[in-house]
Structure 1
Amino acid sequence: MKNSAWITVPYAHSLAGQGPESWEPLERHGQEVARMAAGFAAAFHSAQWAELAGELHDTGKARASFQKYLQYANGLLDSACDAPEHAHSGAGACWAAAKLGLAGRLLAYCIAGHHAGLPDFAGGITPNGALQQRLGEDGKVLAEPALAAWIARHEAGWLARRPGPPWPFKDTDVSFWLRMLFSCLVDADFLCTEGFMSPAQAAARGIYLPLAKLADLFFANLAAMQQAAASTEVNRIRSEIRAACEQAAHEAPGLFSLTVPTGGGKTLSGTAFALRHALRHGMKRIIYVIPYRSIIEQTADVLRSFLGTDNVVEHHTDLDPDKESQASRLAAENWDAPIIVTTTVQFFESLYACRSSACRKLHNIADSVVILDEVQLLPPNLLWPCTEAMAQLVSHYRTTLVLATATQPALAVSGPLAQQSCREIIPDPTALYARLKRTEIVLPDDLQARRSWEEIAEELQQYPQVLCVVNTRPDCRKLAELAGEDVVYLSTWLCGEHRSQKIRAVRERLKAGAPVRVVSTQLVEAGVDLDFPVVYRAFTGLSSIAQAAGRCNREGRSKNPGQVIVFMPPKPAPPGVLRKAEDAFIGLLQSECPPSPDDPDSYPRFFRAFYQAQNDDGKQTFTRMLVRDARTFQFQFREAAAAFRMIEEDSVPVLVRFGDSDQWISQLRALGPKRELMRRLQRYTVGVPRKLVPKLLGNGLFEELPPAGSGLYVQTMSSLYSETFGLNLDLEALNPGELII
């Protein structure tokens, strides 16, 4: 032993190169985490639960073996004295489960998982880490003298603070509440540890203008924009929409719908509602949730132009590091900034996550205004867990949800949201749609008469400016090849940086009145700000047709309505979601009362038919894992997190050679996968069907960067990626069903 002085005070954390007098006592760390976690959980009436979880979470660090580990790690003990087993997260969990009954089991999930993530109760994905097994195995450490003495000193106080349920729980409430409680604990633990270990980094957090100052900035810039805007009917209607949003903001928090035709200024109007509503009701932040990464940057840039560059935090995988500051990187960890812009995938997958890092942010959704943009794009196979999470946020976490879209689905008619009172912000959506009608949508007379791509290509060549949207990537490639050398091709075979460059160039040509013909998959439909005089759309579901029409005569500059021509493509959509949407619309068109794309009441009808055609909405799966055994608090959190995947993992990202990607790939080879480097390279990836990767590796078309099994794949043959069509694989050999966006 290098230093025979025994450390009598248990410590939670040490500092490298400093003696125990500079370390953090376990008592202080537990108290600080308890205080902070309780403050977080107060938003949903669970402060007592979070406080007790905070006091208990590091109880196991009182073990003599853990204190010896700290001494050894800091050179105070020889290696021969190192205690190999010094785990600490199980002790507080075992005490809670043994002393507090079923209520203690709830705390045990949070405490046992505060590093490794919420466990399954039994069996599941990691059986050896399941709560039931850990409570059986880890309990033996409670008898260790040092730990037993620590518990004896605190037990009376812990028992005196035995909490009761924050509200009369229903079976569907408990697992969601437990995940929110877990969020409070892990975020408090991260922040308190950071405050001790990295005070400079802790000081960099939360450097944002308060929401009231941001509102002043937003509405001043909005007024200036309105004053400078051309006096057109479209702009007058947009002003009326914003006024309706500001008026509705006075209503009590809850569930709202914002039904605005495409091009009606939904982004700014929704933000105006959110700011007024948050300030009126003392809410903490605004979270803007967007379905596609292809449009999140556009929305974030619009908000930055009104709120300031440093006051909008983006959180998504394709974020350009040049747009990140230290404060924004830190805010993305736990969403403690006043304005967050994120993806639907990030938002909902976090709500069903089990990992500590993914759950940190959840408590900050409480007491917020959440705008769910293009909400009709929620995946039908996960509709029940998505709407259940939405219902939980509205019912118990003082969250206002805004369902914003031009094509409202029937989410509040049945299922978990049926018990919520959904208030429409726009006083008369039907009249609004009539006033904002800028297009003539021409549906095919004969739904059986399919047309060839050659015919469509010939028609497109008649227009100097035209957009054609098709259903699959092979269709897009085929039509683009037939439509002439000057056609602009857009699909997810192009990497994100390439798509962004092409879309910017298309906007510039449209603005200049120059010829531009575009053939695209449906990636341009939701929120991409393009304005063509003519749009062609391959037949599909009603909502997608309406979204495509939103790219036509968007600003109402043409005296005559823009033309939206819907045609029957050579083949039906591949089996799956697109085929079911197509079939649902065909069925409605053949009914006694066919729907109209110009009538907002048609969209709930379409979505009811579309949802009814689904084989599974996720209810059965998630009920089994998170609801069925709720009364005995037996949850399968890891199974649920693995099952909740909004993007199926049937593709892998491949780094392609476009633009500046070679220099970043070279750095990746030299430095390995550093965070900032990987964020840059996200802009240069294309998703490739997983089953093709072995063949492409075997042919030498791709390579896997070392070490083996890294999962980092790089295009090797330069001719595989072209300026025109992006990644150029043998499309004919692929299953069309795998090539949908």
Structure 2
Amino acid sequence: MYIAHIREVDKVIQTLKEHLCGVQCLAETFGAKLRLQHVAGLAGLLHDLGKYTNEFKDYIYKAVFEPELAEKKRGQVDHSTAGGRLLYQMLHDRENSFHEKLLAEVVGNAIISHHSNLQDYISPTIESNFLTRVLEKELPEYESAVERFFQEVMTEAELARYVAKAVDEIKQFTDNSPTQSFFLTKYIFSCLIDADRTNTRMFDEQAREEEPTQPQQLFEHYHQQLLNHLASLKESDSAQKPINVLRSAMSEQCESFAMRPSGIYTLSIPTGGGKTLASLRYALKHAQEYNKQRIIYIVPFTTIIEQNAQEVRNILGDDENILEHHSNVVEDSENGDEQEDGVITKKERLRLARDNWDRPIIFTTLVQFLNVFYAKGNRNTRRLHNLSHSVLIFDEVQKVPTKCVSLFNEALNFLKEFAHCSILLCTATQPTLENVKHSLLKDRDGEIVQNLTEVSEAFKRVEILDKTDQPMTNERLAEWVRDEAPSWGSTLIILNTKKVVKDLYEKLEGGPLPVFHLSTSMCAAHRKDQLDEIRALLKEGTPFICVTTQLIEAGVDVSFKCVIRSLAGLDSIAQAAGRCNRHGEEQLQYVYVIDHAEETLSKLKEIEVGQEIAGNVLARFKKKAEKYEGNLLSQAAMREYFRYYYSKMDANLNYFVKEVDKDMTKLLMSHAVENSYVTYYQKNTGTHFPLLLNGSYKTAADHFRVIDQNTTSAIVPYGEGQDIIAQLNSGEWVDDLSKVLKKAQQYTVNLYSQEIDQLKKEGAIVMHLDGMVYELKESWYSHQYGVDFKGEGGMDFMSF
């Protein structure tokens, strides 16, 4: 009997045949969503072929039952290469067709990489990790393993027939471009990873295959719940206010627009116009009409996740089927999970825990979305197949990091063209993503809101006052705010870095008004508690001051009497203005734009360039306000701002990897004739490069970061955070780790590498479960600031 896994808790064995057939079945289900059933199934069928060896059987048996006799260490027996080699031998000869070779390369890479990351077909060192594995690596029992597979799982003739069906699917799917080949490979890899992890988890938990959720029934019920809620709003005393009439009209436009075929559309509802519920109305209606499987909100800040998810839960009356995904509580190891060898330990159970975005409604961040396609770590890639047949709602889409614009556009184009997605770009400040080199394939006449200029004018509730003529220090700013805030009322101050925010907070403390501090150094639960207090004071009309970074700008439903914004991009100024007089409580309120003298922006290129271009627009507005319809935040002003911004940042849109002197798009998606690595290979060897694909997938993933620095999630000692750490680190067997990890996201803070190093030196970090889970010690977490350390802490742009 050949073994796939042994359950540590009771030493029960899962046979290799059971595992291969189970993974094949799940992978087929996932692949079928893109009519790639047999392509994905082939990956599942062959992924653990290398476990059909006496070496592996002897190793795993001794590791569990006779550990004192074990000769091999974990991960020393290669069981992932054999399946890729078999496919290459079958399908990659001179006589084989283009699509047979393509199948061998796509599925073969998924198989050999299923415990690491997709391999390079050719690397910057002009080597091919893929070819080394499928052609050169020594596999002593390879022929015997293949023979046992044919005897026990599927005959050679049956496999040939199965492969023929996979070839036909490849022919129908691909346009043979490097771009689509990359996304095809990633998709098949995702199907395999999720099928493998899911089958293993079900064996470990002794669980039966779960009945799939019926999203259509849920969406129909949710849609009715939402319509009931909107109907109740029309009965309120304020329903006939002009702004509320407009909100209702735009919501109804979303309902009508949902009947259009899937595409990439824009929803440019002004700030405070009811964007969350309007986009949900579109999504629920469209999902019913076009049989979508899930609705996914992608937002730049976790503060929006917390607020919007709760609002949607309350209206739909459902908690179980709405998932918030903030960050990865469990860290992927540097080398993927090569150490996984079939013994299901508690550490292994953490890796297997459900984390695959399989709920009907999901709220996640832009960082997590981009990581699915481009970052290393199988936990990220595992989610990709569940993006297909979805409605994707990008809230505040202008916050896509500049260096990721091309990669973002290519991912959305794939989802629209091949993965049957409908995509909604929501923001009052639409970026011109269709006008860059790797352009976004927006649909023509794709704006949902009718008469946008008139609607924007009707929603005008603030006047922007330009006070950038003289730079302002924190000392002067604090003096001005102390003098004026009691008469202003509730005052929001948004600055560009954590350091100046904390310094200003300390200067304002002890003054005539209560002062609040918000930062991504706080965990989500902490920020939520602070925002609850802030909202209570706003409701009472009590004057107070809140000092924060830009995390509050996008989508946080608060309305201050006065806002002060440190100069940044025009889109940021517009979003800050959206926190002032948000619901039209007063006829017109003021947003002051200042030039802060003490912010260090040398490492924050996007904010620095945004400042420069916004400053130019401010200057032109002073001279010729009519050019911008008399409104600094008009659609005309915003289009001009983004046109200049993307022009100025053009060289940065393709994510340049300085370590290999190449753009990320070229590492992943270039033709052989454009690929300098292929040219060098052919020149140095005097032979033709033997592969169709030439992407450097592993190199690209190793260097991809949505922000410039790596971050690591640490569970902090706030609220229930301590209980979660105790539970994860206890010797007890936790029945449902998925629920524990989901809850833990509310109590994590993402720390930059230099911050982690500093805290480790101070003894402030405790690592659990072989470094998979980080804990911050209690004395290092402040109820004022969150994680309390000095310095800029990098770009406070997103909370991951």
* TM-score, scaled relative to structure 1: 0.85
CA distance 1:293–1:556, change in 2 (3 Å): same
Q: Write the distance in 1 (CA, Å) between the matches of 2:701 and 2:492.
A: 39
Choose the corresponding residue for 1:552, options 553, 558, 580.
Answer: 580
Match of 1:325 in 2: none
* Equivalent residue letter for 2:448: I
* Equivalent residue letter for 1:44: L
CA distance 1:362–1:609, change in 2 (3 Å): same
Q: CA deviation at 1:461?
A: 4.0
Paired residue total: 714
Match of 1:136 in 2: 135
Identity within the alignment, %? 29
Task: Summarize the alignment of residues 32-71 of structure 1 with structure 2, pairs less than 5 Å apart.
Answer: 32-69=22-59
Choose the corresponding residue for 2:265, options 230, 233, 256.
Answer: 256
CA contact 1:382–1:644 (8 Å) conserved in 2: no
CA contact 1:289–1:372 (8 Å) conserved in 2: yes
Partner-residue secondary structure (3-state), 1:609? helix
Task: Summarize the alignment of residues 613-652 of structure 1 with structure 2, pairs less than 5 Å apart.
Answer: 613-614=648-649, 615-619=651-655, 620-628=662-670, 632-649=692-709
CA contact 1:110–1:118 (8 Å) conserved in 2: yes
Match of 2:480 in 1: 456
1:287 has 2:288 as partner: no
Match of 1:239 in 2: 248
Q: CA deviation at 1:122?
A: 4.6
Choose the corresponding residue for 1:268, options 257, 273, 277.
Answer: 277
Task: Summarize the alignment of residues 479-558 of structure 1 with structure 2, pairs less than 5 Å apart.
Answer: 479-485=504-510, 486-558=514-586
RMSD: 3.8
Choose the corresponding residue for 1:385, options 376, 382, 407.
Answer: 407
Deviates more, 1:449-458 or 1:181-190: 449-458
Q: Write the distance in 2 (CA, Å) between the matches of 1:571 and 1:108.
A: 54
Choose the corresponding residue for 1:565, options 563, 587, 592.
Answer: 592
Q: CA deviation at 1:440?
A: 1.8
Q: Write the distance in 2 (CA, Å) between the matches of 1:90 and 1:713.
A: 36
1:93 has 2:88 as partner: no
Q: CA deviation at 1:309?
A: 1.6
* Equivalent residue letter for 1:453: L
CA distance 1:222–1:332, change in 2 (3 Å): farther
Match of 2:390 in 1: 368
Choose the corresponding residue for 2:219, options 204, 211, 216.
Answer: 211
Q: Write the distance in 2 (CA, Å) between the matches of 1:678 and 1:126.
A: 41
CA distance 1:331–1:429, change in 2 (3 Å): farther
Considering Cα pairs closer than 8 Å and 6+ residues apart, tell me whether 1 or 2 has the greater RCO.
2
Residues 414-440 of structure 1 deviation map (CA, whole Å, 9 limit, x = unaligned): 333344425111122211111111222
* Equivalent residue letter for 2:180: D
CA contact 1:124–1:130 (8 Å) conserved in 2: no
CA distance 1:155–1:77, change in 2 (3 Å): farther
Q: Write the distance in 2 (CA, Å) between the matches of 1:95 and 1:666.
A: 46
Residues 193-236 of structure 1 deviation map (CA, whole Å, 9 limit, x = unaligned): 44445343643874876333333333333333443463222221
Partner-residue secondary structure (3-state), 1:440? strand
CA contact 1:141–1:147 (8 Å) conserved in 2: no
Choose the corresponding residue for 1:191, options 169, 191, 198.
Answer: 198
What residue ranges of structure 2 are gaps of 5+ in the alignment?
93-100, 331-350, 656-661, 673-690
Q: CA deviation at 1:724?
A: 4.1
Q: Write the distance in 1 (CA, Å) between the matches of 2:471 and 2:16.
A: 77
Task: Summarize the alignment of residues 344-359 of structure 1 with structure 2, pairs less than 5 Å apart.
Answer: 344-359=366-381
Match of 1:324 in 2: none
* Equivalent residue letter for 2:502: R
CA distance 1:78–1:204, change in 2 (3 Å): farther
Partner-residue secondary structure (3-state), 2:297? strand
Q: Write the distance in 2 (CA, Å) between the matches of 1:108 and 1:249.
A: 40
Match of 1:395 in 2: 417
Choose the corresponding residue for 2:618, options 580, 589, 614.
Answer: 589
Deviates more, 1:447-456 or 1:517-526: 447-456
Q: CA deviation at 1:54?
A: 2.8
Partner-residue secondary structure (3-state), 1:334? coil
Q: CA deviation at 1:350?
A: 1.0
Q: Write the distance in 2 (CA, Å) between the matches of 1:349 and 1:398.
A: 20
Match of 2:339 in 1: none
1:603 has 2:594 as partner: no
CA contact 1:318–1:680 (8 Å) conserved in 2: no
CA contact 1:262–1:406 (8 Å) conserved in 2: yes
Residues 687-741 of structure 1 deviation map (CA, whole Å, 9 limit, x = unaligned): 565446656665x58455589978846457x4x6654445554x5xx46866777
Task: Summarize the alignment of residues 589-738 of structure 1 with structure 2, pairs less than 5 Å apart.
Answer: 589-591=618-620, 595=628, 596-614=631-649, 615-619=651-655, 620-628=662-670, 632-649=692-709, 683=746, 690-691=753-754, 700=762, 702=764, 704=766, 712=774, 714-715=776-777, 718=779, 722-729=782-789, 731=790, 734=791
Q: CA deviation at 1:500?
A: 2.0
* Equivalent residue letter for 2:160: L
CA contact 1:290–1:344 (8 Å) conserved in 2: yes
Q: Write the distance in 1 (CA, Å) between the matches of 2:694 and 2:393.
A: 33
Task: Summarize the alignment of residues 300-449 of structure 1 with structure 2, pairs less than 5 Å apart.
Answer: 300-307=309-316, 308-317=318-327, 333-422=355-444, 423-444=446-467, 447=469
Match of 1:108 in 2: 108
* Equivalent residue letter for 1:147: V
CA distance 1:274–1:695, change in 2 (3 Å): closer
Q: Write the distance in 2 (CA, Å) between the matches of 1:227 and 1:210.
A: 26
Deviates more, 1:607-616 or 1:138-147: 138-147
CA contact 1:285–1:369 (8 Å) conserved in 2: yes
Q: Write the distance in 2 (CA, Å) between the matches of 1:57 and 1:606.
A: 50
CA contact 2:30–2:37 (8 Å) conserved in 1: yes
CA contact 1:410–1:605 (8 Å) conserved in 2: no
CA contact 2:329–2:713 (8 Å) conserved in 1: no
Q: Write the distance in 2 (CA, Å) between the matches of 1:34 and 1:61.
A: 16
Partner-residue secondary structure (3-state), 1:200? coil
Q: Write the distance in 1 (CA, Å) between the matches of 2:373 and 2:53.
A: 34
CA distance 1:428–1:332, change in 2 (3 Å): farther
Q: Write the distance in 1 (CA, Å) between the matches of 2:758 and 2:43.
A: 51
* TM-score, scaled relative to structure 2: 0.80
What residue ranges of structure 1 are gaps of 5+ in the alignment?
1-6, 321-328
